[in-house]
Amino acid sequence: MRRVRYESTGGPLFVEEVPVPEPGPGELLVRCEAIGVTLPVVRKVTEAAEPVPLGGEIAGRVVAVGAGVSRFGTGDRVTGLCFGHGYAEYALLHEAMTSPIPDQATATDAVALVRSGLVALGALEAARPEPGEAALVTAAASGVGQLAVRLARARGAGRVVGAVSDPAKADFVLGLGADEVVVYADDDWGAPVDYVLDAVGGDLLTPALAALVPGGRLVAYSSGGGTIRAYDLLVGAKSVVGFQMARIAREEPELYERWRQELWKLFTEGVLTPAVHGVFALEEAAAAHAAIEARANRGKVVLHP
């Protein structure tokens, strides 16, 4: 089978031929039809000290199952988070991290909706939103951000602001249902908001915190790091909470499953339709990464083996 790999930090991605893996206990072997590309994986290629497997969301059909698997069988359409080599024609999923794909959804829908949607919904839950409150979503044109904008609106936000790196993305974000769009470099982000969902981190934490009303909440779920001054929290009685999807999946599986079911319900009702920036072949994985590194994407970036 074909698989994408790299050999050194920041090194080029290339396709190699390797044997199809065999599922171990509790694992499913999936013939991949769609693979989601995420910013954390892109960052690992450029920042990790040693090469790591290119994992992430995958969707496709089960072709074999390991010992102890009880919820899925050969032929089932599934999606889930692959912790090993996911940029491949075949990949392994742990049963606990796998969910079925509804008949009316494609594999591309699945990788654009489930993992990104879980992060967006979890970050929104962490903000403890009240109906009518104003929300600001950074990276609003990203795979997660576009869903966060729509979910904030669906959950009753009175005003939704999308923050982006490039004004050329404004029309796309407004089309998602945002009331306003601001650009990171702007000196004024407009009227303050009640909560911010931040997927960027770094230097953007300071203006994101400044965009809050007194008593406002900032949810940080970025892998980009960053520092917040305690004084900036103190003077506005503001708060910051970190959100990590992996902790929910590991420690609160019932909540994780409830969120998955809510996402599919919203999808089938037409409330939550994920946008896809583009579809790339495995041989074009470097171009897919470049689109995310350049912050050029409007929606989810997907690989099709």
Q: What is the pLDDT of residues 185-195, one digit of tens each?
A: 998 999 999 99
Give me the pLDDT at residue 187, please.
87
Instruction: Quote the CA–CA distance of 287 and 289 in Å, as a whole number.
Output: 5
What is the pLDDT of the chain when averaged over all its residues?
94
Q: What is the pTM of this model?
A: 0.89
Give me the CATH number covering residue 38: 3.90.180.10
Give me the pLDDT at residue 117, please.
94
Give one word for 263, left, alpha or beta, with left for phi > 0 and alpha for psi -120 to 50.
alpha
Bridge partners, residue 9, by sequence: none
86 belongs to a structural domain? yes
260 belongs to a structural domain? no
Q: How many CA atoms lie within 13 A of 107 on its CB side?
A: 21
Same domain, 123 and 79: no
Q: How many domains does the chain divide into?
A: 2
State which of 228, 245, 262 marks the end of a domain: 245
Same domain, 208 and 240: yes
Give me the pLDDT at residue 228, please.
87
Condensed to tens digits (0 to 9), the pLDDT of residues 116-147 reads 999 999 999 999 999 999 999 999 999 999 99
**CA separation, residue 288 to residues 63, 71, 72 (Å):** 27, 33, 31
Same domain, 236 and 151: yes
Residues 6+ apart with CB under 8 A from 92: 21, 23, 24, 27, 28, 29, 30, 82, 84
Q: Which two tokens stand for residue 258?
A: 């409830």
Give me the pLDDT at residue 119, please.
94
63 belongs to a structural domain? yes
The boundaries of the domain holding residue 14 are 2-101+275-304
Tally helices (H) and strands (E) across the chain.
9, 15
Give me the CATH number covering residue 205: 3.40.50.720
Closest-CA residue to 275 (of 250, 300, 251, 242): 300
Same domain, 218 and 291: no
Instruction: Give me the count of residues in the chain.
Output: 305
Q: Please report, in angstroms and rounded to a whole number, the separation of the first and last CA atoms in the chain.
A: 10
Same domain, 218 and 193: yes
Give me the pLDDT at residue 97, please.
84
Question: pLDDT over 90 for what percent of the chain?
Answer: 82
Say which DSSP state 71 is in.
S
191 belongs to a structural domain? yes
Q: What is the dihedral of CA 222, 55, 293, 123, to 10 degrees?
A: -20
Same domain, 126 and 92: no
206 belongs to a structural domain? yes
State which of 226, 245, 264 marks the end of a domain: 245
Instruction: Quote the CA–CA distance of 93 and 28 in Å, as a whole number.
Output: 5
Angle in degrees, 0-180, between the axes of helices 253-268 and 107-126, rounded to the nearest 10: 120
Same domain, 77 and 159: no
70 belongs to a structural domain? yes
Same domain, 36 and 149: no
Instruction: Quote the CA–CA distance of 151 and 263 in Å, as a whole number.
Output: 9
Same domain, 85 and 141: no
- Residues in the chain predicted with pLDDT less than 50, given as ranges, are none
Same domain, 157 and 230: yes
150 belongs to a structural domain? yes
Give me the pLDDT at residue 133, please.
98
Same domain, 133 and 213: yes
Same domain, 82 and 194: no
Give me the pLDDT at residue 167, please.
95
112 belongs to a structural domain? no
